[in-house]
Amino acid sequence: MLTTVVMFFIFTDGNMLHAQSLGTPFPASFRNTRKNELTNGGSLRPVFKKIKQGKRVKVMQIGDSHVKGNYLPRSLGNTLQSYFPHVEFTYYGINGAWARRFYEADMINRVAMEDPDLVIISFGTNEAHGNPIDEHVHAETMNLLTQRIANRCPGVCFIFTTPPGSYISQRTGGTYVTGRGRSRRVHYTTSKVENVANTARVSRSIVSFCHSHNMAAWDIFTIAGGAANWHNAGMMNTDQVHYLVAGYNLQGKLLGEAIYNAYIGTPTGSQLRPMHGSTPQEQKPYRSVKGF
């Protein structure tokens, strides 16, 4: 299903400047996609107000190796700055990180040093690997993380993103193989399967937390239809956890557009601004690293 491209015409003093696309389409092979939007986008009103006033706004993204790998945050930062010239963007990721890693003192200090107006929190892939998460504990982790950041950065706003989706290894077909003498061993076939159930559970936990705490969420897992879409479109790395540059570039651009759409749909952000620049065009694959 191809997402409709929506065009907005921007006017200044009654003169049309140019048409601007706010609906980058998914690849034609994607199925079961949803509208690209933030939930609770109105919670970002303080940030949007500063943008409308032409003030400096600092945005920071924190997360796991999807952020550490550079391509996703660079695409997001370039997209945001193309819409909002006064935005300053920074990011920090750790390979293999869970959200709980970032509520520790050293990470809170790192975030506080940037004095952000908006923190984009991107975890969940690691939480979705292994045993199903305890949603109560996960919610408490998100609460501690946001509270500790807010205590150091008064007035800060948050966006949580869900994990985009991944695959896990599954053992099947256990058979006995006779060895020399009397020894015998079990031989298993290992295959990759989409990690749907755990990723969906983590994503629901994130969205539910944001709803109950009036924070914005970007549910890319639901919006993009899951890992199989990215894999079938040739946008996933061979480890089927990380993504190629094209995949990360698209994710960053989509998140930037979702934020901009929330801006123009919020009363304090009724004034449209022209777009400048473009997203990165690099096409080098993201190298797998130890940890997700």
**Range of 67's domain?**
7-166+194-269
Low-confidence winner among 4-18, 121-135, 140-154, 244-258 (lowest mean pLDDT): 4-18
Quote the pTM value.
Answer: 0.83
DSSP 24-72: PPPPTT--S------BSGGGGHHHHHHHHTT--EEEEEEESHHHHTSHH
Q: Is residue 149 in a domain?
A: yes
Q: Is residue 291 in a domain?
A: no
- For the cut 70, the answer to whether the pLDDT of residue 176 exceeds it is no
Q: Is residue 283 in a domain?
A: no
| CATH at 93 | 3.40.50.1110
Q: For residue range 56-67, list pLDDT tens digits in order.
A: 999 999 999 999
Distance spanning both ends of the chain, measured CA to CA? 29
Q: Is residue 185 in a domain?
A: no
Distance CA 40, CA 79 (A): 21
The total domain count for the chain is: 1
Q: Is residue 174 in a domain?
A: no
Looking at residue 57, what is its pLDDT? 98
Instruction: With cut-offs at 50, 70 and 90, classify the pLDDT of residue 257.
Output: very high
> What is the pLDDT of the chain when averaged over all its residues?
85
